[in-house]
Amino acid sequence: MTREEKRVIVASSLGTVFEWYDFYLYGSLAGFIAAKFFTVLGADGQPIFDEGTRNIFALLAFAAGFLVRPFGALVFGRLGDLVGRKYTFLVTIVIMGASTFIVGILPTAEQIGILAPVILIVLRCLQGLALGGEYGGAATYVAEHAPHGRRGFYTSFIQVTATGGLFLSLIVILGTQAITGEAAFREWGWRVPFLVSILLLAISVWIRSRMQESPAFKKMKEEGTQSKAPLTEAFGQWKNAKIAILALLGLVAGQAVVWYTGQFYALFFLGTVLKVDSYSANLLIAWGLLLGSGGFVFFGWLSDKIGRKPIILGGCLLAALTYFPLFKLMSAEANPALHAAHQNIAVTVQADPANCSFQFNPTGTARFTNSCDIAKAALARLSVNYRVESAPAGSPAVVNIAGTTISTTVPNFGQALGTAITAAGYPAAANPTVVKMAHPFDIFREQTGVLVLVLALLVIYVTMVYGPIAAALVELFPTRIRYTSMSLPYHIGNGWFGGLLPATSFAMIAQTGDVYFGLWYPIVIALVTVVIGALFVPETKDRDIFADDTAPAPGVRPATLRR
């Protein structure tokens, strides 16, 4: 690499790490934020906001985090193709950093009433929009500086940033908790990671303000061959829209679910299903990220040699084939007593099928009040494996636990169910077999060591699908609409297919009574991506991204672009 190329990669990657850090903070601290802004109790001990208002806030916060990102891709993608890559993602990082810092100083609902959650939602929307514009700009900028034949390697450093941002946010949160203590962190310490973002913003702006525009965009602007309407050209013309659809279904959708499964669903599974405490679960995930993240650069480099498709689709296929045994091994190691109970204790729910809903609830606002739903949701929260059997129409749901029957009509059903489950042999949440990290380096014993290796393997799958994806997307589209075209399928795939994974998987668990059934969601989507990608998506590693409608005659490249 030349000195200029190194500077381009460092500037783009470091800024994107900080963007992801800002974005992940909200998700990691959502419980603390909800307590301060959505579910605040008044002097009378009652919530300040009624249930309907709280539900609206929860819905908007969710939408801002995931559903808004594609709109940011459209807004900033268009801007990037019109005015340039450098200035656009300089704008995105200022919006992201400023929004995050303001969350850290925002008065709570107890102090300023309904204005607090309204401002919070606006800031969250700005974060989602900024993130939607950041990735496409960074990937395009680096790719347009990279020598032909090395784009996979160069852009792989951008791919490290999402995991790097998650890792950095976990480290800052854990460090702040250790310094302040749990009580102080819950009261005011949760603000510290948000406030730290102002330092990261200052560094990022300073670095990015010194960068030059990409040579491909400068040449296109000098020749006057820019697109006048990037959105219309990218998605209003079938020849380009078709490529965007194939990129979404044949590359990004599978990449997204593998990425979310290896990082976020693994964390959800450890904490919610296997009942591992949050400190230990976060540390285990952090070690998995640390050990596996080198794969981003390795697989980016390898994709320059053997192609983007074999690695991305190979990662999807490997993940689909091994998720069940890996998550069962994780279960057996993280909570052996619970794993044994799953194998040995028979639990059934006898209910009228008409009273059983599919409990998809990504915002936490839906209410499932039928007796069947109450029984299944309670069992799913207790991480109990069960079967559903049909009962006569109109009859209330009944749970049968190793011969003991409990009707959902009994008073304090949840408490009675928990007592019966424990009596039948299911362990309490804090049973002594559950993995617990004594300190950050407590990984050199069998239980924690195996878990770290399993999580590292899941991260390696993530690096296979994610390491080459930026280069693959950049190479699919011409310079004049590249920022716009690649950003939208990326953020639809990762924001929607990936972002809905935990809620969908939990609903699938509650529906079937199998704690592993939720894995079918990423497995099916990954396999669909393998088929569509193998049949319809072209291999692009040897494509000259300058040889499009902005390029000179074949075989001739301007001096500023030669390597």
pLDDT by residue, tens only, the chain of 563 residues: 677 778 888 878 877 788 778 777 877 787 788 778 877 666 666 677 766 666 667 667 766 667 788 888 888 888 888 887 778 878 888 898 898 899 899 998 888 888 888 898 888 888 888 888 887 788 888 888 888 889 999 999 888 887 888 888 888 988 898 898 888 998 899 999 999 889 888 888 888 787 777 777 777 777 776 777 788 888 888 888 999 999 999 999 999 999 999 988 998 899 889 999 888 998 899 899 889 989 999 999 999 999 999 999 999 999 999 999 999 999 999 999 999 999 999 999 999 888 888 887 776 667 788 889 889 888 988 899 999 899 898 889 999 998 889 998 888 888 899 889 999 999 987 788 999 998 889 999 999 999 999 999 999 999 999 999 999 999 998 888 888 888 889 888 888 888 788 888 888 988 889 999 999 999 999 999 999 999 999 999 988 877 654 433 333 343 333 33
- Cβ atoms of 275 and 381 within 8 Å: the answer is no
Q: The CATH number of 238-335+434-540 is which of 2.160.20.10, 1.20.1250.20, 1.10.540.10, 3.40.50.2300?
A: 1.20.1250.20
Can you tell me whether residue 458 is helix, strand or coil? helix
**DSSP H or E run through 235:** helix 230-235
pTM of the model as a whole: 0.86
Decide if domain 1-226 falls under CATH 1.10.3720.10. Answer: no
The Cα 391–Cα 494 span in angstroms is 40
Roughly what angle, to the nearest 10 degrees, separates helices 115-145 and 482-492? 130
Nearest to 537 by CA among 469, 457, 483: 469
The Cα 479–Cα 441 span in angstroms is 47
Residues of the chain with CATH 1.20.1250.20: 1-226, 238-335+434-540
